Amino acid sequence: MTDTQPETIAGDRISFGPQDQPLLTGDGVLAFSLYMAGTPFVDERMWCINVYNADMLRKMGYENMSMREAATQAAKDNKPGMIRFMLRAPTPEVKQAYLEQQKLIDDGEGQAKDVLRDLMEDYKNNARPYDETVTRIMCLVLKMRIKFMNGWKDTVPLLRIEDSREPRETTGLGGGREVEMGGFKFISVNASEATRQRMGL
């Protein structure tokens, strides 16, 4: 958003002056990092907006209905449109802190646990202010969570092969009942043909 026109949010009229342009972003990590560091949303009652247009709704398969009906149904079906977060303008220092931390993560510099420790030590030693420290920590935690949860995409899938032997029941030394199960094996999907044959696949 670059103009100074008043914006209507949650039914109220909110005006922005030339020096108070809001930050409108679709980056949820950026928005939450700034918010946790003290940058307020423009309206706490409507901290994000979900916008649909006709082309988007048509591609989602909503046809033969009005845009209003289509958008209402898309929201009920958990199909988001363009999600945007609107915050008050952050300080240049806080925004720069986020961008710098994001670049460090993208460049893969350092282990996340070590970076977190260093950030906390810097704050403890008054080497960095609170808002910049929180912004960097939230950026680190949220970005690394995404990488952590998607880490499986970089691994070779494994197959769990169950042993086809039937369970075997025996009597133990003390007269108790013991059941021997077949167990299982793991094999990667890119295993050699010889390995697959050895395992009966």
DSSP string, 103-123: HHHHTT-S-HHHHHHHHHHHH
- Give the span between the Cα atoms of 79 and 95, in whole angstroms: 30
Cα angle 171-177-178, degrees, rounded to a multiple of 5: 80
Q: How far is CA 127 from the centre of its chain?
A: 29
Amino acid 2: pLDDT: 36
- 4 pLDDT above the threshold of 50: no
- 99 pLDDT above the threshold of 60: yes
pLDDT confidence of 11, banded at 50, 70, 90? Answer: very low
Q: How far apart are the first and last CA of the chain?
A: 59
Predicted confidence (pLDDT) per residue in 121-144, tens digit:
999 999 999 999 999 999 999 999
State the residue for tokens 């946790």.
36
- 192 pLDDT above the threshold of 50: yes
Amino acid 46: pLDDT: 84
- 170 pLDDT above the threshold of 80: no
Contact present, 27 and 90 (Cβ < 8 Å):
no
Please name which of 189, 187, 190 lies closest in space to residue 198, comparing C-alpha atoms.
187
Amino acid 73: pLDDT: 97
Identify the residue with better confidence: 5 or 52: 52
DSSP string, 135-156: HHHHHHHHHHHHHHHTGGGGSP
pLDDT confidence of 57, banded at 50, 70, 90? Answer: very high
Predicted confidence (pLDDT) per residue in 26-46, tens digit:
999 999 999 999 999 998 888
Please name which of 20, 3, 18 lies closest in space to residue 91, comparing C-alpha atoms.
20
* Average model confidence (pLDDT) across the chain: 85
Which region holds residue 175: left if phi is over 0, alpha if psi is between -120 and 50, else beta? left
- Give the span between the Cα atoms of 49 and 32, in whole angstroms: 14
- 50 pLDDT above the threshold of 70: yes
3-state class of 122 per DSSP? helix
- Give the span between the Cα atoms of 136 and 142, in whole angstroms: 10
